[in-house]
Structure 1
Amino acid sequence: MDFRPRRRDEVDLDITPLIDVVFLLLIFFMVSTTFEQNYEINITLPSSSKEATEAKPDAVNVGLDSDGNVYINEKALVNAQIETIKGALSDALVGLNEPPVIISADANASHQSVVRVMDAARQLGLVKITFATQGSNDE
């Protein structure tokens, strides 16, 4: 009788092809991914003074309501897409020499709609962008 333990054949699992496939997928996703460039916007909000200042006649007034509708010089735009805003701003700029853009946003307007208007103005080369403020009722 042979009581010696028999030698068992161990199963080898070769994971080299699996690692190759994982690295190929990783390289594929790294190459095919598109990155969006984000801009950081530093905003110093103006403080309101007690006296009201009149809007300059050569200023472009942009209004934003709480529903996301955009108004340029009190004319409603058909949508709030950036191309529509740029087209309306460029139409309002005809005959004006570097006018300031005054953004009057509703308190409940989304930040994205304000940033969209600012981005459209920046793409048109406008650098004088101000925000209309409401005076306090502490008097």
Structure 2
Amino acid sequence: MTYTRNTMTAALAVFAMTTFSMAGASATALTPLPKETHINHSLMAGVVADKIRKACPGISARMFVVLHKMNGLKSYAVRKGYEEVKVRAFLKDPVEKARVKAMAAEYLTSHGAVVGNAESYCTLGREEIAKKSLIGQMLRAR
């Protein structure tokens, strides 16, 4: 299956927005969203996967896996009790978006990806796929 560059970007946006669309009543002592490790790690992993598949012509997105991960994260948020309105505000906040993108950029750099060097992204992508990491699960080597 071939996807355009914008398909995964759009899927990740849907991932982020619908992940929490069913979030229920708030719990009394929830971790603030910017500090909620699982949610932030998952969002960062999605951004990293998207950057890898955009930079490496030999790697593409596994869209069904992305959708499955989206549903799993949505279930996680519901179980935790995050309110939809707070999550939407978190996801739309430009400061938070920039923070997650910065986390992804740091991850990419610290794992050998070099802007402008497609092979460095391909190498990282293949490593993530081989490790079956969250990032690697969203990618497929062609």
Q: Same fold (TM over 0.5)?
A: no
TM-score (norm 2): 0.28
Structure having the larger proportion of residues in strand:
1
Structure having the larger proportion of residues in helix:
2
State the structure with bigger RCO (CA 8 A, min sep 6), 1 or 2: 2
